[in-house]
Copies of this chain bind each other. A is one copy, B any other.
Amino acid sequence: MTRIHFWAKTCLPLYFFFTLSANLSAQSKEPVADEAFIDRIYDVSLTNGRCYPWLESLCFQVGHRLSGSPEAAKAVKWAQSMLDTLGLDSVWLQPCMVPHWVRGEKEVVRVKGLKKGKDFPLAALALGGSIPAKLEAEVVEINTWDQLEQLGAAGIKDKIVFFNRPMDATKIRTFEAYGGCVDQRVGGASRAAKYGAVGVLVRSMTLRLDDYPHTGTMHYDSAYALIPAAAISTLAAENLSKALADEPRLKVSIQLNCKTLPDEPSFNVIGEIRGSERPNDVILVGGHLDSWDVGHGAHDDGAGVVQSMDVLRLLKQLGYRPRHTIRCVLFMNEENGLRGGKMYAQEAARKGEFPLASIESDAGGFTPRGFTFEGEEAVFGRFFDKLLTYQSLFEPYGLKFSRGGSGADISPLRGMKGLLSGYLPDSQRYFDYHHAESDTFDKVNKRELELGAASMTALVYLIDKYGL
């Protein structure tokens, strides 16, 4: 469009006037100074941000980085060396042991024994933690848990169970759709093994119809036999489902070359600016340094890593001296063990630190829509009331505050009576790329990423300045 008499000229000043004037009366102590400082944060992030070139470097110099892999070790060095350049008060590595699962050679999954038509391949990725496989069996498609129970051993034994319940496209927030079917990926193998299944295939957790398989973690229940598990692309799932409708006795061969090796030593990478007044009270910003072993891990969670790093750098560049300790924590092993998150919480407790506020960015580098907050029931109401007095300062940037879960890495801090927060970007595209070969640097928009870093910095600034 051309729009030379441009709407923004008339619209924006009015918009700002209406939204801000309505709220300033209920505002925190220095509304004008806070507005101006937050404005500076966004300006500097958008004109002189480092998160985007950092992400490029992480994606192309390191690449994907599954816990225990040489690339994860390289990522630790990369992050430490970047943080070392920022003039922080300290940068250190926090050791933890992590699982070491390797995919091995590319998996091969094929539909076989069709009466009409030829064998065809299904685009697949072994699920993280799966045992290896070399098998061929008939397939039974399952769309609900009830179906599985009803079929029982009679219908399941010696078969491959194909979990094909799709994400619900009608959920506006895609994480809700994910939450509604990831149980198939995480627990499907053991629930099928209970009835004697020999392997499982799971429809990829994405709303797109395409040929990328999406991997992710799975857990075995030690009460049942361990059977191999792989994700297949949504297109492969549709094709398999159609083929089964025609020929219920078809077979599928599964070859997975993955295995679990002994745990490896690894690290959380941490940098901080020490608080001038309350150094023992920590405001944490973080993301996870590990990723799945496909693509670049750009949105999951390269974005959260570089945004968290840039929060500290932006505060330094703006000359802000925090009252509380501001700490960037790049967690290891969120994807398949949470060992870094658990170790961090254990160490925080051992040192007697107070995790005043912990903010995790692990939902992609998309346009900011808000923050979610949670905390111990006894104190959370007070926190949230205070937080709401900051909310109008975020309105010009389109963010809203809501109650809700925060992030996996910071979840072990629950119970320490601090505030937990999740940075909430727009969720529409996240599962297009999540845990897939397509989660690459080019899928991240520079401005969207930078707006996220600025939003996190602004929240850290307000909590540091006014407490909770």
Interface residue ranges, A against B (CB under 8 Å): 1-12, 14-15, 18, 42-43, 46-47, 169-176, 178-179, 182-183, 186, 207-208, 216-217, 288, 300-301, 334-336, 362-363, 367, 369, 372, 374, 396-398, 402-408, 411, 422, 426, 428-429, 432, 445-448, 451
Cβ distance A59 to chain B, nearest Cβ, rounded Å: 17
Q: Is the CB of B429 within 8 A of A7?
A: no
The residue from B207, B216, B404 contacting A10, defined by CB atoms under 8 A apart: B404
Known contacts: A8-B176, A408-B1, A408-B3. The answer to whether A445 contacts B426 by CB under 8 A is no
Q: Contacts A1-B408, A170-B42, A363-B1; is A179 near B6 (CB within 8 Å)?
A: yes
Asked whether, in the complex, the Cβ of B405 is within 8 Å of the Cβ of A5, the reply is: yes
Residues on B with C-beta less than 8 A from A173 are 8, 12
Contact A169 B46 (CB under 8 A): yes
> Are A216 and B2 neighbours in the complex by a CB distance under 8 Å?
yes
CA distance A8 to B372 in the complex (A): 10
Beta-carbon nearest neighbor of A46 in chain B: B169
Chain B residues with CB under 8 A of A208? 446
Instruction: Return the chain B residue nearest A209 by Cβ.
Output: B446
Least Cβ–Cβ distance between A311 and chain B, in angstroms: 18
Nearest residue in B to A219 (C-beta to C-beta)?
Answer: B4
Complex CA gap A405/B9 in Å reads 8
A420 nearest CB across to chain B (Å)? 10
Q: A7-B372, A8-B176, A170-B43 are in contact. Are A403 and B334 (CB under 8 A)?
A: no
Contact A14 B216 (CB under 8 A): no
Measured between alpha carbons, how far is A170 from B172 in the docked complex, in Å?
29
A9 to B, closest residue via Cβ: B179
Chain B nearest CB, measured from A127 CB (Å) = 11
A447: chain B residues within 8 A (beta carbon): 169, 174, 207, 428-429
Provide the residues of chain B in CB contact with A362, threshold 8 Å: 1, 3
With contacts A11-B405, A15-B403, A334-B2 taken as known, whether A445 is within 8 angstroms of B422 at the C-beta atoms is no
Partner of A404, one of B11, B171, B216: B11
- A172 vs B450: C-alpha distance in the bound complex, in angstroms? 11
* Distance between Cα atoms of A8 and B403 in the complex (Å): 10
Q: Give Cα distance in the complex from A336 to B448, angstroms.
A: 31
**Across the A-B interface, the 10 shortest Cβ-Cβ residue pairs:** A11-B404, A7-B405, A6-B179, A8-B176, A1-B362, A43-B170, A15-B402, A8-B175, A46-B169, A7-B404
Give Cα A7 to B407, complex, Å.
8
In the docked arrangement, what's the CA distance between A131 and B407, Å?
Answer: 58
Contact B429 A426 (CB under 8 A): no
Contacts of A217 in B (CB 8 A): 2
- For residue A426, give the distance in angstroms from its CB to the closest CB of chain B: 5
Q: How far is the CA of A407 from the CA of B426 in the complex (A)?
A: 25
Enumerate chain B residues within 8 angstroms of A369, measured Cβ to Cβ.
398
**Residues A408 and B2 in contact, CB atoms below 8 Å apart:** yes
Task: Please measure, in the bound complex, the distance between the C-alpha atom of A369 and the C-alpha atom of B363, giving whole angstroms.
Answer: 19
**From A7, A217, A336, A362, residue with most partner B Cβ within 10 Å:** A7
Which interface residue of A8, A369, A404, A422 has the most chain B CB atoms within 10 A?
Answer: A8
A432 proximity list for chain B (CB < 8 A): 445
Q: Choose among A1, A186, A403, A406 the residue with the greatest number of B CB atoms under 10 Å from its CB.
A: A1
> How many angstroms between the C-alpha atoms of A421 and B426 in the bound complex?
24
Residue of chain B at shortest CB distance from A3: B408
Q: Which residue on chain B has the smallest CB distance to residue A373?
A: B11
13 A-B pairs within 8 Å (CB atoms) are namely: A1-B300, A3-B405, A4-B183, A7-B374, A8-B175, A15-B402, A18-B403, A46-B169, A46-B170, A47-B169, A172-B396, A172-B398, A428-B447
Bound together, the chains give a CA A301 to CA B2 distance in angstroms of: 11
